[in-house]
Amino acid sequence: MRILFIASLHHPEALREAIAAAPPGAAPLFPPSVAQHFYEKELRARGHELAVFYRNLPAWGGTGHFERHSEGLTPGKIVRGLLNRLPPQANPDVALRNRRLREQAAAFRPDWLWLVGDNRVIAPQTLAAIKRETGCKLLYTTGVSPIVFSTPIERAAARLYDLVLSNDFYHGIQWLELGAARMECLPISACDPDFHRPHDLTAQERAALACDVAFVGTLVPDHLYSLRRAALESLRDFDLGIWSVHDLPQTLQAHYKGAALGESNIQALSAAKITLNVHGDFMRYGGNMRLFEAAGAGIFQIADDLPGIHEWFTEGETIVTFRDTDDLRAKVRHYLTHDSEREAIARRAREHVYAHHTYRQRVDRLEALLGG
């Protein structure tokens, strides 16, 4: 198949490093800090032809904008909010990006457009024109709620989506209600055994990174991550380490260890005894990236009690969940003092995701869905 990704370029510095390290003629399309990188690796290994259009890069040059999440209003947030309300045709730069996507699609002739969620740029009219001109179908993938996060142009294009892949079953139903033709509840994230594996740290690395309980992820704004924030705040009297590329609430800044992406993310987790995984307020079924990546890295994981987690893991065997902060604190105390029990669960979790939740298996299912 010929697949044209429509995505935003995140972490351009990580992509530059990955391109510099790649053999001649094998430059990656995505940095290893995003799930698309691992899909790209597996799809290429199977002979599929891939290309990407980075919708967030300015048409007249530049590297785009990395949004660092923070609490409160800022001038940048106000400007972006106003621009998001404008139709693409009203912004000359965005209109040109839409035209260039049509030109790339006409030259590449994809069988499938793969539209990654959080699209704020590509108009429904552009997607409809590409489908009409090339005969391709449209795959939309998302890990977040259409009620909370999707943009007006994403919802307006829903009837063009031939297939929606959603981490969260509830979100998938919402996309069907908006008009999508098909939905599959398939966690977009998974693990790659070559990458998501236990790391042997040097004594210096372990001294810099070590903590009893680690969290890697986003914590602001509070109305989207209040459950994470409350869980972490309940553990402030433990040896807690937090890594994030975004700002932290004032109540947790004393535990900040730095930014972690890709390889450094796995290193940070490898130095901890426990990793805490609390989903955003907008994911009530489960299935975020950390769920499978942390298990692949061989880290004992405590997660919030959500339906999807119990579908993909077994309580007490491959994961431990908590109901409230009192339950969380009790379980953290227990597993910090029961090393062999904690390590056995972490080992079984790693074996489980290597057997059932790798990107190879995700692509097996994806090929069946796209072929159908």
Judged against a pLDDT cut of 80, whether residue 26 lies above it is answered with yes
**What's the mean pLDDT in 316-341?**
98
Rounded distance between C-alpha atoms, residue 21 and residue 28, angstroms:
10
Whether residue 290 is predicted with pLDDT greater than 60 in this model: the reply is yes
Q: DSSP readout, 198-249?
A: -----HHHHHHH-EEEEEES---SHHHHHHHHHHHHTTTTS-EEEE-SS---
For residue 65, is pLDDT > 70? no
We report the CATH number of the domain holding residue 219 as: 3.40.50.2000
Question: In terms of domains, do 218 and 318 share one?
Answer: yes
Q: What is the pLDDT of residue 329?
A: 98
Least confident of 77-86, 110-119, 351-360: 77-86
- Read off the pLDDT of residues 258-267 as tens digits, 9 standing for 90 and up: 998 888 899 9
| Residue range 230-244: mean pLDDT, rounded | 98
One domain for residues 229 and 310 = yes
Does residue 64 fall inside a structural domain? yes
For residues 347-364, average pLDDT: 98
- Expressed as residue numbers, the domain containing 184 is 2-190+359-371
43 and 148, same domain (yes or no): yes
The pLDDT of 178-192, averaged and rounded, is 95
Q: Is residue 304 part of a domain?
A: yes
pLDDT of residue 90: 79
Is 8 in the same domain as 50?
yes
- Provide the percentage of residues in the chain whose pLDDT is more than 90: 82
Residue 269 falls inside a structural domain:
yes
Contact 275, 294 (CB under 8 A): yes
Residue 128 contacts by C-beta under 8 Å, 6 or more apart in sequence?
160
Same domain, 349 and 320: yes
Note whether residue 222 is domain-resident: yes
Q: Residue 261: what pLDDT?
A: 83
Token pair for 369: 């869905």
With 90 as the cut, is the pLDDT of residue 15 above it? yes
The answer as to whether 198 is a domain residue is: no
Q: What pLDDT was estimated at residue 168?
A: 85
List pLDDT tens digits, range 214-231. 999 999 999 999 999 999
| Rounded distance between C-alpha atoms, residue 270 and residue 89, angstroms | 48
Same-domain check for residues 241 and 297: yes
Q: Residue 288: name the closest of 354, 196, 191 by CA.
A: 191
Residues 47 and 142 in one domain: yes
Confidence of residue 79 (pLDDT cuts 50, 70, 90): low
Residues 13 and 116 in one domain: yes
pLDDT tens readout for residues 111-121: 999 999 999 99
Residue 195 lies in a domain: no
Q: What pLDDT is attached to residue 88?
A: 63
In this predicted structure, the answer to whether residue 68 has a pLDDT above a threshold of 60 is: no
**Residue 21 confidence (pLDDT):** 93
Q: What pLDDT sits at residue 308?
A: 94
Are both 294 and 364 inside the same structural domain?
Answer: no
Pick the closest to residue 272 from 305, 302, 315 (CA basis): 302
Q: Are residues 34 and 60 in the same domain?
A: yes
Q: Which residues contact 200 (CB under 8 A, 6 or more apart)?
A: none
Give the C-alpha distances (Å, rounded to integers) separating 80 from 63, 65, 353: 17, 11, 39
Residue 73 has pLDDT above 80, yes or no: no
Which CATH number goes with the domain that contains 41? 3.40.50
Angle between helices 339-356 and 289-296 (to 10 degrees): 110
Contact between 83 and 91 under an 8 Å Cβ cutoff? The reply is: yes
> Is the bond into 124 cis (omega within 30 degrees of 0)?
no
Q: Is residue 123 part of a domain?
A: yes
Do 291 and 189 form a contact (C-beta atoms < 8 A)?
Answer: yes
65 or 292, higher pLDDT: 292
First to last CA, the chain: 13
**Together in a domain, 254 and 315:** yes
The per-residue pLDDT for range 38-53, each reduced to its tens digit, is 999 999 999 999 999 9
> Do residue 105 and residue 230 come from a single domain?
no
Give domain status of residue 137, yes or no: yes
Q: Spell out the alpha helix ranges (H) of the chain.
A: 12-21, 35-45, 75-84, 92-108, 124-134, 152-156, 169-177, 203-209, 222-233, 263-270, 289-296, 307-312, 325-336, 339-356, 359-371
Query: Does 190 score more than 80 pLDDT?
Result: yes
Structural domains counted in the chain: 2
pLDDT tops 60 at residue 66: no
Residues 6+ apart with CB under 8 A from 107: none
Nearest to 301 by CA among 278, 325, 329: 278
Gyration radius of the chain's alpha carbons = 21
